[in-house]
Amino acid sequence: MQFSPQDLSYLTGERFSAGYRLRLPHETGAMQERSALLEGLAKDRRIVHVGCLDHVPLIESRIAAGTWLHQRLTRASELCIGVDIDADGIDLVHALGFDNVRLCDLVRDPPLPEIVAGHWDYLVLGEVLEHIGNPVEFLAAIREKYASCVDRLVLTVPNAFHLDNLTRTLRNTEQINSDHRFWFTPFTLAKVAQSAGLEVLSYQLCLHKPNIPRRRLLYRAMLRLFPLLRGTLVMELALRPPSG
């Protein structure tokens, strides 16, 4: 899916509306699950995987089950390097045989030599941005340091309009990861990215987790017919080098 010229005029601030209605284009593609989508995107590509770890108690079981995202991206890609700020997690995955993970804060630390010395197709930020206190500043800092060596950035974030969220509101309930600071929609995520100097190329809605039980026929039908009810928002962006 892509934003129309009219949508872009509101994203850039050229035009203003207090009640703008963004309409998703009709989608004919099959529903995809987030990890499978990212794995397909990484195939035979050179990838920087940011926030590549997981909750430490879950890493070993997910590696054993073949569901750890960094493991899947490493297998699919031509070359993959992961970065994270969790020193204990880095030590654990090194001990488990994953030597392509580095301890680095991409915003506060100097540019990582292994990244800036090469050329990368994608920098993947999977389920990271919702944890960041100032997402515009965060994305702008990444662009400042890495636009010269990375072609595109891929964001995945929880979708505010997820069907599960809507059904919970009918019970006056919010269920959320307690470390999250934001929910995002297609427009608000694009607005954050555009404010950080990134060029929005495309977006899509996908499943957050695979294997929705087949007995949930109505639930599956709703997600298929109405993409905006799916759990994860994926956005692809171009990193434009800073001016001057």
Element (H or E) spanning 201, and its range? Answer: strand 198-206
pTM of the prediction?
A: 0.92
User: What pLDDT, on a 0 to 100 scale, did the predictor assign at position 244?
Assistant: 46
Contact yes or no for 48/81 (Cβ under 8 A): yes
Q: Nearest 5°: phi and psi at 153?
A: -115, 135
CA distance 95 to 115: 23
Phi, psi of 130 (to 5 degrees): -70, -15
Q: Do residues 3 and 200 touch, judged by C-beta distance below 8 A?
A: yes
* Amino acid in the structure at residue 209: K
Q: Which of 111, 90, 112 is nearest to 100 (CA)?
A: 90
Please identify which residue in the block is written with the tokens 């397909």. 40
Integer Cα distance of 204 and 150 in angstroms: 21
pLDDT of residue 19: 95
Look at residue 72 in the predicted model and tell me its pLDDT.
Answer: 96
Q: What is the pLDDT of residue 29?
A: 60
Other CB atoms within 10 Å distance of the CB of residue 225: 9
Residues of the chain with pLDDT under 70: 27-30, 240-244
Instruction: Give the integer Cα–Cα distance in Å for 219 and 207.
Output: 12
Can you list the domains of the chain with their CATH numbers? 5-11+32-239 (3.40.50.150)
- Per-residue pLDDT tens digits for 203-230: 999 998 877 777 788 998 899 999 999 9
Spatial distance between the Cα atoms of 234 and 15, rounded to a whole number of angstroms: 25
